[in-house]
Amino acid sequence: MSTNVSLLQSGSNLRQQNATRGIFFIAGLGMASWAPLIPFVKARLDIDDGTLGLLLFCIAAGSMLVMPFTGRAIARLGCRTLILACAAVFCLILPFMMHATSAVEIGGALLVFGAVNGLLDVSMNAQAVIVERDSGQARMSGFHGFYSIGCVAGAGGVSLLLWAGLMPLQAIFLIVLLIALVVMTASGHLLAKRPQESGESGGTFQALSHPGILFIAVLCFFIFLIEGAMLDWSAVFLHTERGMEKSHAGFGYTLYAIAVALGRLYGDSLVNAFGRQRMLMLGGSCAAVGLLLIVSVDLPGVALAGFILAGIGLSNIIPILFTTAGNQPDVPSSFALSAVTLIGYTGLLSGPALIGFVAHHSSLTTAFSAGVVIMLLVCSSARRIAR
């Protein structure tokens, strides 16, 4: 009898894992599908680069505005309700963004878009922590790997559809249809009930008063800062510091993104084999070596190899930090995750500006060199984080 119950629980957890992978996929899909459409919106509204920059800031602002309240929303409503609500809004807001006729309208839509992304980010990670905990094995890296796959599918898929001659609205409707199909398939296996955890009083900012959560949040800030620098400054670095042609400079981030995705897809097996502490040390060391190659060898080919190593090393650090935060004693995972995600997003938002400030007063090489120090800090902190 107990064997049958165990098999049923195992089967249920497997379906929950697949549902969680689907939600991470549509989160990446929905966010990245917007990127190829930005030039069309800019041209339709006839706005300059400065106005576009302010509008794009609305995405980050929307995410950060809702994150302090996400933990309490998960505690009251459960992951399933929030995830389904976010998916529904995604399906509505993406087509609306293609219809917006003024900067005010698109600004409001991007604010909602960012808020939905922030809610979905925390709620799907809260689901992932519980599903991983119930499975008894590392699963978080694989979940985040599906987010990376979703990003590739979103940006690449929309680009291909536009190249094939579809209008932006037609392309986004196909993305919306895919989101709806995945969500309908996954909905029955999301966590419908509110997580029962001790210490459910308090909130996101109170979670930051917990030393373990605060320490992890600070590390997330720095890791997200590096990831933001890779996105916004890698091509500029390769062009200005390593002399690559502008048309080729984007290969640095492309190789980095592929390395991150592959590293996360294989990350769970590595974490199960070596443990979280060793994986943090190995990942931090690999990323430090990659960044050191980028800043110290004046050869474009070596720099590209450095981006690959940095991607492999960084790929599993955030999933491990999220898992560790979600399993801290005396702090509900929903509050812990909203806290570390809020601080992490602050790094993602401020990182490109900080890199630009350092580069202005010194050089991009100096700015990227700070990443080596950060990764060594991760290595030295591994024992404390994953003990």
pLDDT tens for each residue of 345-371: 888 777 767 777 787 788 888 888 888
pLDDT at site 175: 93
CA 197 to CA 377: how far, in whole Å? 32
CATH for 333 = 1.20.1250.20
pLDDT range class, residue 321, cuts 50, 70, 90: very high
Q: Which of 53-67, 128-142, 185-199, 234-248 has the highest mean pLDDT?
A: 128-142
Asked if residue 276 and residue 159 are part of one domain, the reply reads no
| pLDDT at 322 > cutoff 70 | yes
| pLDDT at 122 > cutoff 60 | yes
Is 294 inside any structural domain?
yes
pLDDT at site 312: 94
Asked if residue 37 and residue 165 are part of one domain, the reply reads yes
pLDDT at site 49: 67
Per DSSP, 209 falls in state T
CA 206 to CA 23: how far, in whole Å? 28
Is 243 inside any structural domain?
yes
Cβ pair 315, 260 in contact under 8 A: yes
Is 199 inside any structural domain?
no
| pLDDT at 342 > cutoff 60 | yes
Mean pLDDT, the chain, whole residue set: 85
pLDDT at site 387: 59
Q: What is the largest CA-CA distance in the chain?
A: 70
pLDDT at site 92: 94
Helices (runs of H) and strands (runs of E) counted in the chain = 16, 0
Of 189, 224, 239, at which residue does a domain stop? Answer: 189
Asked if residue 180 and residue 112 are part of one domain, the reply reads yes
Asked if residue 150 and residue 249 are part of one domain, the reply reads no
| pLDDT at 200 > cutoff 70 | no
| pLDDT at 225 > cutoff 60 | yes
Asked if residue 222 and residue 168 are part of one domain, the reply reads no
Is 194 inside any structural domain?
no
52-89 tens-digit pLDDT: 777 877 888 888 888 888 888 888 888 899 999 999 99
Q: What is the arithmetic mean of pLDDT over 143-162?
A: 86
Of 189, 220, 235, at which residue does a domain stop? Answer: 189
pLDDT range class, residue 282, cuts 50, 70, 90: very high
Distance of CA 207 to the CA centre of its chain: 21
Host domain of residue 134: 2-189
Asked if residue 285 and residue 153 are part of one domain, the reply reads no
**How is residue 104 written in tokens?**
């005010």
**How is residue 230 written in tokens?**
């890779």
Q: What is the arithmetic mean of pLDDT over 90-96?
A: 92
| pLDDT at 25 > cutoff 80 | yes
| 340 CB-near residues (< 8 Å, 6+ apart) | 213, 216, 217, 220, 321, 322, 325
Per DSSP, 35 falls in state G
Rounded to 5 degrees, φ, ψ at 362 are -140, -95
pLDDT at site 6: 57
Cβ pair 93, 62 in contact under 8 A: no
pLDDT range class, residue 179, cuts 50, 70, 90: very high
pLDDT at site 3: 57
Residue bearing the bigger pLDDT, 339 or 203: 339
Of 160, 141, 198, 162, give the one whose Cα is nearest residue 315.
141
Asked if residue 258 and residue 158 are part of one domain, the reply reads no
pLDDT range class, residue 199, cuts 50, 70, 90: very low
Cβ pair 74, 123 in contact under 8 A: yes
State how many domains the chain has.
2
Of 289, 269, 293, give the one whose Cα is nearest residue 279.
269
